[in-house]
Amino acid sequence: MATTYAQATTCLICNTENSAEAMLCSSCSAPMSLVHDSIAQDREPQIITIVGESNVGKTVYLGFLLDMLSQRAGEFKAIPKGAYSVDLQQTVVSYMAHRMFPPKTPMEPNEWYWAYYQICRALPNPKWFDLVMPDMAGESLAAEIATPKTFKVINSLMDQSEGLILLIDAAQAANGSTQPDFFALKMMSYIDSMFTGKRGERVTTPTAVVLCKGDYCPEVFDDPPRFVEANLNRVWNMCESRFENVAFFASSVVGSLGYATSGHADDYVVPVPLHTALRGVLEPFEWITSQL
Ligand SMILES: Nc1nc2c(ncn2[C@@H]2O[C@H](COP(=O)(O)OP(=O)(O)OP(=O)(O)O)[C@@H](O)[C@H]2O)c(=O)[nH]1
Ligand SMILES: [Mg+2]
Ligand SMILES: [Zn+2]
């Protein structure tokens, strides 16, 4: 039997050369299976990233979005490439079936879920995309924004993203907290400084601003841009001045919540999702793919 010599593989996210046996990129920890799976396709994968503060709902949102896509929601057909791509939706769906929210995403990139999907949008004309969507931790994003390049993987991902979904906690904003406005403003300023090499040029990457946890403040569904202008004015101004291609959406994943004490010694109150009712989950994604 002939000996085959393993060839080096280049990381899809940060372009570092890795040995053929590597499971994770030695530099940015992205799974090397992304590379192996993309070699098998004839399309360049496009990256869509979901960003937002810790606890805003990124994991829940992405898990349900992927689950909807794989159940042929709307005009979409989706095929996960590799079993690892199914882990996130499986985790989210099974926690929610047990009336629990999934746990917080760990800060270490080697523990993040990555999804690689082949997606077909049937209308207006059938079009296939290869999409890579990682579920990053909000705390890692915050650290990267505060000191760029501390998380190489985030830096490379943002640099290569062809679509952005920015989640903002509508419930907090509606309660008068300025925290969501400030975090999103920082996030957008990070994106702005990364995307625009030349002065004066605006960010052209399609950016969907999603107001989530809409079940807490149903008025957000009436007119999302109006809600942003009224309650997240810093973000609104940033969008107007620096982002050329932005759209506003509202979403929610739960129909009703109960509250229970955790049962631990400290007895803190935890929300219990009594049933799943997806609203506005697919729309931001639909819009982004229409812009790609
Ligand atoms: N009411 C309501 N609560 C939600 C919704 N989505 C998320 N939550 C709450 O927000 C919490 C955080 O959701 P995650 O998806 O884990 O948040 P995350 O952005 O992934 O957070 P990190 O992993 O820390 O970055 C959940 O545990 C729920 O309590 C929603 O649609 N409605
Ligand atoms: Mg998470
Ligand atoms: Zn890498």
157-208: per-residue pLDDT in tens? 999 999 999 999 999 999 999 999 999 999 999 999 887 765 668 999 999 9
Name the closest ligand to CA 277: 1
Whole-number average pLDDT of the chain: 90
Give the other-Cβ count within 10 Å of 203's Cβ.
21
CA–CA dist 129, 246 (Å, integer) = 21
Number of the ligand 1 atom closest to the C-alpha atom of 137: 25
120-171: per-residue pLDDT in tens? 988 778 888 889 999 999 999 999 999 998 999 999 999 999 999 999 999 9
Q: Partners of 9 in the beta sheet? A: 18
Cα of first residue to Cα of last residue in the chain, in angstroms, is 46
Residues with CB under 5 A from ligand 3 (ion): 11, 13-14, 16, 25, 27-28, 30
Residue 124 pLDDT: 79
Q: Partners of 267 in the beta sheet? A: none
Measuring from atom 22 of ligand 1, which residue has the nearest CA?
54
CA–CA dist 191, 87 (Å, integer) = 28
CA–CA dist 10, 85 (Å, integer) = 20
Of the chain, the percentage scoring pLDDT greater than 90 comes to: 64
**Do 212 and 252 touch, CB atoms closer than 8 A?**
yes
| Integer angstrom CA distances of residue 183 from 74, 235, 246 | 32, 9, 17
Enumerate domains of the chain plus CATH numbers: 43-291 (3.40.50.300)
CA of 14 to the centre of ligand 2 (A): 22
Q: Which residue shows structure tokens 């499971």?
A: 23
Cβ of 253 less than 6 Å from ligand 1: yes
Secondary structure (H, E, C), 31-59: ECHHHHHHHCCCCCCEEEEEECCCCCCHH
Report whether pLDDT(5) > 60: no
Cβ of 65 less than 6 Å from ligand 1: no
Measuring from atom 13 of ligand 1, which residue has the nearest CA?
57
CA–CA dist 77, 38 (Å, integer) = 18
- What pTM, to 2 d.p., does this model score? 0.93
Residue 4 pLDDT: 45
Confidence of residue 7 (pLDDT cuts 50, 70, 90): low
28-76: per-residue pLDDT in tens? 888 888 888 887 777 788 999 999 999 999 999 999 999 999 988 788 9
247-267: per-residue pLDDT in tens? 999 999 988 888 888 776 677
DSSP 151: S
Residue 199 pLDDT: 64
Confidence of residue 6 (pLDDT cuts 50, 70, 90): low
Q: Partners of 213 in the beta sheet? A: none
* Tokens matching residue 176: 């008068």
Burial (CB count <10 Å: 0-12, 13-18, 19+), residue 71: exposed
